[in-house]
Amino acid sequence: MDAQGRGRADDVDPADQWVLNPRTGEYELRLSPSAPAAPEPSVPGPRAAGRRTAAPGREVPPQRRRRPAPEEPVPGRRGRRPEKKKSRGKKVLLWTGGTMAFVVLVAGVGGYVYLKHLEGNVSTTDVGNAGSSSFKKDEAFNILIIGTDKRTGEGNEGYGDKGSAGHADTNILLHVAKDRSNATALSIPRDLIVDIPDCETKQEDGSTKVIPGSSGVRFNQSLGDLGRDAGCTMRTVTETTGVKPDHFMMADFNAVKTLTSAVGGVDVCVEHAVDDPKSHLKLPAGESTVEGEQALAFVRTRHAFGNEGDLDRIKVQQQFLGSLMRKMSSSDTLTSPTKLVKLAEAATKALTVDSAIGNVGTLKDVALELKKVPPKNITFATVPVLDNPAEKVKATVVVNEAKAPQVFDMIRNDISFTEVEQKKKAKQKKEDAAVAARLEGEKSEPAEVRVRVLNGGAPSGSAGRELTYLQNEAGVTKSENAGNAPADIARTTLEYAPDQADQARALAEILGLSGAAMKPGESVTNSQGLPAMTLTLGKDFKGAGVKLDAKSIETPDLEKSTADQKLCAS
3-state secondary structure 446-481: HHHCEEEEEECCCCCCHHHHHHHHHHHCCCCCEEEE
Per the rule left: phi > 0, alpha: psi between -120 and 50, beta: everything else, 45 is: left
DSSP string, 285-341: SEEEEE-THHHHHHHH-SSSSTTSSHHHHHHHHHHHHHHHHHHHTSHHHHT-HHHHH
Angle, helices 310-328 vs 293-300, to 10°: value is 140
Helical (H) or strand (E) element with 408: helix 404-412
CA 528/CA 526 separation, integer angstroms = 5
CA 119/CA 57 separation, integer angstroms = 11
CA 113/CA 426 separation, integer angstroms = 36
pLDDT digits (tens, 9 = 90+) for 528-553: 999 999 999 999 898 898 888 644 44
Helical (H) or strand (E) element with 174: strand 168-176
Which residue would you say has higher pLDDT here, 340 or 405? 405
Contact at 8 Å (CB) between 210 and 181?
A: no
Mean pLDDT of 176-181: 92
Helix, strand or coil, per DSSP, at residue 424:
helix
Contacts of 483-486 with C-beta under 8 Å, sequence gap 24+, read: 483/454, 483/455, 484/454, 484/455, 484/456, 485/454, 485/455, 485/456, 485/457, 485/536
End-to-end CA distance of the chain: 40
pLDDT at position 438:
77
- Whether pLDDT at 446 is above 50: yes
Phi, psi of 180 (to 5 degrees): 60, 15
3-state secondary structure 183-228: EEEEECCCCEEEEECCEEEECCCCCEEEECCEEEEEHHHHCCHHHC
Contact at 8 Å (CB) between 492 and 466?
A: no
Contact at 8 Å (CB) between 367 and 388?
A: no
Distance of CA 164 to the CA centre of its chain: 26
DSSP string, 63-114: PPPPPPPPPPPPTTSPPPPPPPPPPHHHHHHHIIIII-------SSS-----
CA 123/CA 103 separation, integer angstroms = 18
Distance of CA 296 to the CA centre of its chain: 22
pLDDT at position 467:
94
Query: Which of 118-122, 127-131, 356-360, 409-413 is most confident?
Result: 127-131
pLDDT at position 423:
59
Distance of CA 410 to the CA centre of its chain: 15
Confidence of residue 448 (pLDDT cuts 50, 70, 90): very high
pLDDT digits (tens, 9 = 90+) for 285-305: 999 999 988 988 888 887 778
Mean pLDDT of 203-217: 93
Cβ partners under 8 Å of residue 77, min gap 6: none
Q: Dihedral sign, CA of 309, 310, 315, 321?
A: positive
CA 194/CA 189 separation, integer angstroms = 11
User: What's the number of CA atoms in the CB half-sphere (13 Å) around residue 382?
Assistant: 24
DSSP 434: H
User: What's the number of CA atoms in the CB half-sphere (13 Å) around residue 72?
Assistant: 2
Share of the chain above pLDDT 90, in %: 38
- The domains of the chain, with CATH numbers, are 105-264+302-412 (3.40.630.190), 433-552 (no CATH)
With CA atoms as reference, report the closest residue to 509 among 463, 561, 474.
474
Q: What is the largest CA-CA distance in the chain?
A: 102
- Whether pLDDT at 486 is above 50: yes
pLDDT at position 23:
59
- Whether pLDDT at 274 is above 80: yes
pLDDT digits (tens, 9 = 90+) for 338-353: 777 777 777 677 788 9
Helical (H) or strand (E) element with 365: helix 360-371
Confidence of residue 500 (pLDDT cuts 50, 70, 90): very high
Which residue would you say has higher pLDDT here, 343 or 70? 343
Confidence of residue 31 (pLDDT cuts 50, 70, 90): very low
Cβ partners under 8 Å of residue 412, min gap 6: 241, 242, 243, 459, 543
- Whether pLDDT at 71 is above 90: no
